[in-house]
């Protein structure tokens, strides 16, 4: 952690206001980017994807639940895994309670993974999640939307992830895809993001970015090495507590 000046309240306010000007620049840039994102062209989804849900087969259009917009969380959970990816679960803990709020703005949310439904349901129960989660194991959905890769693709060493900008580092990788369904029932792919593009959807990271230590990931084997499934963290005593029992 870098050393910090200790200053008067007045000096701190002056420094904070200077930083606020930079934050406003970022806010304005983010708003321009969001407007540009909404103006992107769309691609019509011509494949008839069918998923496996807890109550049987589910067609792609049914995932919208009568709403025009659908956000798909590509959760890494291969067929032979016993649990979902810990990092994807970190994100899932964040959007778990957002579903009703998004529904109020005409947007449905669904998690999609390769693993069979029985595994999805068991892990969902373990984590206490309530969002919809379906299996794409019987379709090419994951491959078509750039989150599942074959051994042959990995062996090439070519950048194929994140629109061909990133090398594949595993058979299952994270992502988010967005779709729109019109009144005629036609479905369109409007947006996808991967890798660091997912960063802004993790509220916990945004909170950590407000703190002096930040994400505190320096020196780790890889940035998210510290992340665990929510029920696997060891209880830690608070440091510097003013309460002495």
Return left, alpha or beta for 146; rule: phi > 0 is left, psi -120 to 50 is alpha, else beta: left
Report if residue 89 sits inside a domain.
yes
pLDDT in tens, 195-239: 999 999 999 999 999 999 999 999 999 999 999 999 999 886 555
Please report how many Cα atoms fall inside a 13 Å half-sphere around the Cα of residue 185, on the Cβ side. 5
What secondary structure letter does DSSP report for 48?
-
CA pair distance 191, 204, nearest whole angstrom: 23
pLDDT, residue 200, reads: 93
Report if residue 29 sits inside a domain.
no
Instruction: Please determine, for residue 66, whether its predicted confidence score (pLDDT) is greater than 70.
Output: yes
Report if residue 6 sits inside a domain.
no
Number of domains making up the chain: 1
Instruction: Please determine, for residue 241, whether its predicted confidence score (pLDDT) is greater than 70.
Output: no
pLDDT in tens, 127-159: 999 999 999 999 999 999 999 999 999 999 999
Identify the residue with better confidence: 71 or 245. Answer: 71
pLDDT in tens, 38-50: 999 999 999 999 9
- Cα angle 71, 72, 73; round to 5: 120
Q: Measuring CA to CA, which residue among 9, 134, 1 is closest to residue 65?
A: 134
Report if residue 139 sits inside a domain.
yes
Instruction: Please determine, for residue 244, whether its predicted confidence score (pLDDT) is greater than 80.
Output: no
pLDDT, residue 221, reads: 95
pLDDT in tens, 26-40: 999 999 999 999 999
CA pair distance 207, 211, nearest whole angstrom: 7
Residue 61 lies in domain: 50-201
Q: Over the chain, what is the mean pLDDT?
A: 94
CATH number at residue 157: 3.40.30.10
pLDDT, residue 154, reads: 94
Report if residue 57 sits inside a domain.
yes
pLDDT, residue 1, reads: 63
Tokens of 219: 């020196």
Sign of the CA dihedral with 157 first, then 92, 113, and 194 last: negative
In the chain, which ranges are E strands? 43-44, 50-53, 56-59, 69-74, 107-113, 132-135, 159-161, 166-167, 175-181, 187-194
Report if residue 31 sits inside a domain.
no
């Amino acid at each position: 952690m870098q050393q910090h000046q200790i200053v008067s309240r007045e000096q701190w306010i002056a420094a904070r206001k200077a930083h606020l000007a930079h934050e406003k620049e970022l806010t304005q840039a983010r708003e321009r980017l969001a407007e540009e994102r909404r103006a992107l062209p769309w691609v019509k989804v011509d494949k008839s994807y069918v998923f496996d849900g807890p109550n049987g087969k589910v067609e792609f259009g049914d995932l919208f639940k009568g709403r025009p917009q659908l956000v798909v969380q590509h959760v890494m959970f291969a067929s032979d895994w016993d649990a979902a990816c810990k990092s994807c679960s970190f994100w899932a803990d964040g959007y778990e309670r957002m579903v009703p709020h998004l529904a109020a703005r005409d947007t449905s949310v669904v998690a999609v993974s390769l693993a069979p439904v029985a595994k999805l349901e068991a892990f969902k129960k373990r984590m206490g999640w309530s969002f919809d989660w379906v299996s794409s194991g019987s379709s090419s959905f994951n491959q078509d939307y750039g989150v599942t890769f074959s051994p042959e693709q990995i062996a090439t060493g070519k950048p194929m992830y994140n629109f061909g900008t990133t090398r594949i580092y595993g058979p299952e990788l994270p992502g988010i895809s967005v779709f729109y369904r019109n009144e005629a029932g036609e479905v369109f792919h409007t947006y996808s993001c991967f890798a660091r593009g997912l960063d802004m959807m993790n509220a916990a990271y945004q909170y950590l970015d407000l703190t002096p230590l930040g994400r505190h990931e320096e020196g780790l084997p890889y940035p998210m090495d510290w992340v665990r499934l929510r029920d696997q963290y060891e209880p830690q005593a608070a440091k510097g507590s003013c309460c002495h029992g």
